[in-house]
């Protein structure tokens, strides 16, 4: 029997290893999709890289990231792309083609071009956006309106998210005292399963009926926001019959979910404010309406008051006019009356004049009569004045007590008598007394 030439497996593998090392001495940039991904406890990361064409794998290779490369490489990639290294993403990696006698062919990944992934993603995103626009999904939500009083709100988030608590507190503990009905629909908010989970929650919320559905990412890692660029999620949001508001909260860029939603805000607080503002707007509207009504009512009352006061003034003027007219009439009457009175007075005066004259005449007559009487009396008195008689040659004889003696009866002989003349008097002694009717011998004047 002819003895065959053979070599040991290790010999062959060593040969292959040598050949490969000779044939692929350098490092190669390779574009591939990560098909599987498994970091190990020992610090190395094992993965498989594939290339697909028409949904079928056309090339596949094992690959390793050694533990001395892995941490830096991963950190750099995630920092740059905001995305985790995982299965399903397309990467550009620098590899060394290696062959191990024990493990066979493998690509040792030494570097990764994060910018390539960014670019690829941007391209993918751009394609998705274009498709959404073309199919009319972009503006579907914009045509919906959040009710004036959005009261029943569905929140799709992960219950543990810090942002959800912020939102809840801000919304429910508002100083105005507005109340809301909040229904929580839990969903995965990051990672591969997120889009499906969110779509499911969305469908449930739609069934329950709400005024608005909120998708709140609410904190967590800033990486792995790729799920919010998912095409299927975008379609689900766009076709939702209820307005969807997103608060995914990433300042760097806008996600497709934000674009197709009715509205997108950055923070949980801003999300709460959106609904509080809607209530505030209604409050303001009510205030304005109330103000409008009371102002109008006030104006109306003022107008009526003005009308009233002008009517009052008109009445006042009318009364004044009337009074004026009456006064004029009165004046005229008074004039006429006084004129009449004057006439009357004149008559009276005339009448009284006559009376006065009569009185005067009477008085004069009376005075004349009195004068006559006085004159008569005077004449009488004058006539009986003893001095007048005395001047005619008669004398008055006075007896005792100076009394005029009218007879000789009381005169005795020897009596002293006074004899009064008109221009003086004397005293005499009676010698004799003669009485005419008794005896004359008694008469004797001394």
Partner 1 sequence: MSEKFDYAKAIAELDEIAAKVENPETKLDDIDALVGRSKELLKQCKDYLRTVKEKIDSLDKE
Please report, as ranges, the residues that interact with partner 1 according to CB under 8 A.
148-149, 151-152, 176-181, 208-209, 279, 282-283, 285-286, 289-290, 292-294, 296-297, 299-301, 303-304
Question: Within 13 Å of residue 274, how many CA atoms lie on the same side as its CB?
Answer: 25
Residues contacting residue 46 through CB under 8 Å, at least 6 positions apart: 38, 39, 40, 62, 63, 64
In the complex with partner 1, which residue's Cβ is closer, 138 or 182? 182
- As measured in angstroms, the least distance from the Cβ of 275 to partner 1 is 12
In the complex with partner 1, which residue's Cβ is closer, 299 or 377? 299
- As measured in angstroms, the least distance from the Cβ of 271 to partner 1 is 19
- As measured in angstroms, the least distance from the Cβ of 270 to partner 1 is 21
In the complex with partner 1, which residue's Cβ is closer, 104 or 209? 209
CA distance 69 to 443: 213
- As measured in angstroms, the least distance from the Cβ of 272 to partner 1 is 16
Residues contacting residue 358 through CB under 8 Å, at least 6 positions apart: none
In the complex with partner 1, which residue's Cβ is closer, 151 or 250? 151
Distances (CA, A) of 212 to 152, 263, 266, 397: 7, 11, 17, 166
In the complex with partner 1, which residue's Cβ is closer, 70 or 279? 279
CA distance 116 to 376: 175
- As measured in angstroms, the least distance from the Cβ of 290 to partner 1 is 5
In the complex with partner 1, which residue's Cβ is closer, 304 or 360? 304
Distances (CA, A) of 398 to 376, 407, 418, 440: 30, 10, 5, 20
Distances (CA, A) of 152 to 243, 258, 267: 12, 21, 20
- As measured in angstroms, the least distance from the Cβ of 212 to partner 1 is 13
CA distance 276 to 174: 8
Residues contacting residue 419 through CB under 8 Å, at least 6 positions apart: 395, 396, 397, 398, 425, 426, 427, 428
In the complex with partner 1, which residue's Cβ is closer, 98 or 149? 149
- As measured in angstroms, the least distance from the Cβ of 167 to partner 1 is 18
- As measured in angstroms, the least distance from the Cβ of 303 to partner 1 is 7
In the complex with partner 1, which residue's Cβ is closer, 293 or 334? 293
Burial of 56 (0-12, 13-18, 19+ CB in 10 A): exposed
CA distance 399 to 428: 10
Tokens 């509207």: give the residue: 285
């Amino acid at each position: 029997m002819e003895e065959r030439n053979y070599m040991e497996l290790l010999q062959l593998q060593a040969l292959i290893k040598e050949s490969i090392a000779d044939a692929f001495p350098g490092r190669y940039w390779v574009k591939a999709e990560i098909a599987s991904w498994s970091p190990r406890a020992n610090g190395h990361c094992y993965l498989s890289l594939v290339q697909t064409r028409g949904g079928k794998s056309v090339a596949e290779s094992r690959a390793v990231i050694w533990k001395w490369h892995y941490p830096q490489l991963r950190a750099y990639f995630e920092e740059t792309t905001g995305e985790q290294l995982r299965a399903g993403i397309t990467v550009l990696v620098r590899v060394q083609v290696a062959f191990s006698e024990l493990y066979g062919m493998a690509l040792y990944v030494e570097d990764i071009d994060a910018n390539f992934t960014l670019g690829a993603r941007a391209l993918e995103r751009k394609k998705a956006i274009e498709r959404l626009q073309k199919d009319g999904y972009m503006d579907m939500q914009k045509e919906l309106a959040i009710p004036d009083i959005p009261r029943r709100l569905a929140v799709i988030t992960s219950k543990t998210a810090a942002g959800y608590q912020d939102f809840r507190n801000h919304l429910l503990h508002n100083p105005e005292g507005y109340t809301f009905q909040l229904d929580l629909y839990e969903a995965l908010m990051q990672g591969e399963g997120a889009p499906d989970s969110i779509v499911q929650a969305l469908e449930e919320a739609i069934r329950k009926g709400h005024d608005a559905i909120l998708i709140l990412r609410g904190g967590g890692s800033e990486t792995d926001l790729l799920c919010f660029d998912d095409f299927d999620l975008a379609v689900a949001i766009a076709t939702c019959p209820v307005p969807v508001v997103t608060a995914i909260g990433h300042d760097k860029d806008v996600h497709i979910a934000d674009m197709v939603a009715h509205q997108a805000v950055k923070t949980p607080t801003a999300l709460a404010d959106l609904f509080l503002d809607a209530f505030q707007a209604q409050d303001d509207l009510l205030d304005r309406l109330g103000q409008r009504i009371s102002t109008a009512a006030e104006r109306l009352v003022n107008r009526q008051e003005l009308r009233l006061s002008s009517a009052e003034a008109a009445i006042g003027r009318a009364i004044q006019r009337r009074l004026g007219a009456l006064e004029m009439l009165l004046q005229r009457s008074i004039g006429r009356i006084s004129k009449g009175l004057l006439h009357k007075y004149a008559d009276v005066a005339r009448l009284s004049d006559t009376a006065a004259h009569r009185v005067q005449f009477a008085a004069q007559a009376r005075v004349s009569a009195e004068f006559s009487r006085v004159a008569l009396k005077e004449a009488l008195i004058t006539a009986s004045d003893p001095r007048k008689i005395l001047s005619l040659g008669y004398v008055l004889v006075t007896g005792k007590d100076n009394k005029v003696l009218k007879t000789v009866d009381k005169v005795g002989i020897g009596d002293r008598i006074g004899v009064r003349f008109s221009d003086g008097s004397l005293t005499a002694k009676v010698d004799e007394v003669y009485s005419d009717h008794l005896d004359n011998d008694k008469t004797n004047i001394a």
